[in-house]
Amino acid sequence: MSKQVNIGVIGAGWPAWQHIKGYQKLENVKVLALCDINKEILSKTAKEYNIPKTFTKCEDMLKLKEIDAISVCTPNFLHVPQVIASLNAGKHVICEKPLSVSAEEACKIIGPLKKSKKKFMIAQVKRFANESKYLKKLINNNELGNIYYSKIKYLRRAGIPGIGSWFTTKKYSGGGSLIDCGVHVLDLTWWLMGCPKPVEIFGSTYAKFGPKGLRDSNWSVSKDRTKIFDVEDLSTGIIKFENGASLFIETSWAMNIKEDSQVSCLLYGTDGGAELSPLKLLKYIDDCPNCIEPKIPENNIFDEEIKHFVDCIVNDKKPTVTLEHGIRIMKMMDGIYKSAKTGKSVTVK
């Protein structure tokens, strides 16, 4: 890489720290500017990571011609307007998950992205784990055969990320545990299955603890909170795909389970099964079931994600997680929410 790639980061919280650390490990990449409306957090983060330019308005930062790419690391409802503003300013963009608060909102990016001809990527970090990439290669080599069913879960016993914060306010977040945590395992599993087209969805959602002020994890979110909790703390759903496969998903911020958390992805194919994480494989060899546990070295998934994004910019490659992928994921989550509200299955257009 010869030319220096200059980065601007919108948002100065935890996700931004992961992006910044990833950029700063790469040669010829410089985090030039940081933006956040919270001056205290902005100053602290800029000082810690030695970022020379700071802004409280992203439109001011986007005027810097020397910035090549933007990381959007803000609350969900700000993603789409900030992505569009960055693309219109001629910048490449990586946006934190989830892409938006709804598929309808996410589709607003299509026109500006086509017009800009810039790189756009969604930060679905689970795809960049070594074991995820290893399993994807096995699936592409048909080691599991036809994957016809999957079961995934992302459960917390007491992990509501700030009751009354933007996380628990639907107009800002788009939803609760599903859109916050479930999006990770949903995207990963759907990608491993080959990104089949969803056709029908049935879902249920529940809010049993958050409205009572229970199971708040008191994570590092704003202390200026309301009492609003109009999202779910538990969701379940089943998604049927055009190729006949189906996926069952279960997510929670608050649930009476033994462990603090349970996160898993199970794939069932005609020639084998797989489980993440850690990776385990089930293969029949000479008519006998064999459980195989490959020893895959761990990696820093955030660093890998950022490295991939920069590589796409420098070497003109297509990002692994595209806008089309993001919109499909949003449609699946929208379908679960709509089905839960109506009590009926939802057909995906």
What's the whole-number average pLDDT of the chain?
A: 96
35: β partners? 10, 55
92 and 171 fall within a common domain: no
145 and 264 fall within a common domain: yes
63, pLDDT greater than 50: yes
User: What is the distance of C-alpha 258 from the center of its chain?
Assistant: 26
267, pLDDT greater than 80: yes
CATH of residue 16: 3.40.50.720
168 and 236 fall within a common domain: yes
286 and 181 fall within a common domain: yes
Percent of the chain with pLDDT over 90: 96
Q: Would you state the pLDDT for residue 219?
A: 76
pLDDT digits (tens, 9 = 90+) for 15-60: 999 999 999 999 999 999 999 999 999 999 999 999 999 999 999 9
pLDDT digits (tens, 9 = 90+) for 219-242: 756 667 888 999 999 999 999 999
pLDDT digits (tens, 9 = 90+) for 317-344: 999 999 999 999 999 999 999 999 999 9
Domain of residue 306 covers 5-126+302-321
**What are the angstrom distances between the C-alpha of 34 and each of 18, 73, 195?**
13, 11, 34
117-121, 159-163, 223-227, 337-341: least confident range: 223-227
> Going by DSSP bridges, is the β-strand pair 69-72/92-96 parallel, antiparallel, or unpaired?
parallel
Number of domains in the chain: 2
213 and 81 fall within a common domain: no
